[in-house]
Amino acid sequence: MFFKKFAAGFLSVICVLMLCCCKGEKTSAAPDLNKLFTGTASIACGDFTAEATINRLGNGMWDVEFLSPKTLSGVKLSFNGDEITASYLGLKFTVPKDTSPVKGVLRLLFDAVDKSSEKPDMVCTEKDGKIIFDGEINSEKFKIMFNKETGGLSGFEVPDKDLKIEFSSYSEIQ
């Protein structure tokens, strides 16, 4: 009898301690991703780094203009459904999205935001001033981060691909 009371008390203390260790994270509803927006982003994937202006113009419609590195500066990519149009200094060509070398990096962000924007009931966690949504698309686990105060997109990560995209500016397009 004493052992049962002791075990019950001990388990209660363990449960309370476990709950206390989870401080800083709480469940939250996700901000609305079903919006048109523009932002300046730093992109890091392994050893590759770049800076670009990223515009969401609709579901499946995105424009990207690279600002750096110097070798990509001025390159514009337009994603529209199944095609990608690349342009640079007046030269322009279109390729199917599945053959694009950037499909693995930028398409992950685009697909994650587009698919997540269709889910108004996404459950997120709050941590360190950010709202974080953990999801999966095409067998890749990702995180979409939002600024807690503004609800704006602040980052995107795919840990298995060593991909991080951080938005230094974000504004909705009216």
> CATH number, domain at 87?
2.50.20.10
Q: What are phi and psi of 108, to 5 degrees?
A: -60, -45
**Domain total for the chain?**
1
Q: What does pTM read for this prediction?
A: 0.79
Pairwise CA distance, residues 131 & 144, whole Å: 8
Q: 33-90, pLDDT tens digit by residue? A: 889 999 999 999 999 999 999 999 999 999 999 999 999 999 999 999 788 899 999 9
The rounded Cα 15 to chain-centroid distance in angstroms is 33
Any domain includes 91: yes
Residue ranges making up the domain that contains 53: 26-172
Contacts 24+ apart (CB under 8 A), 58-66: 59/34, 59/114, 59/117, 59/118, 60/110, 60/114, 62/106, 62/110, 64/106
Q: What is the number of residues in the chain?
A: 174
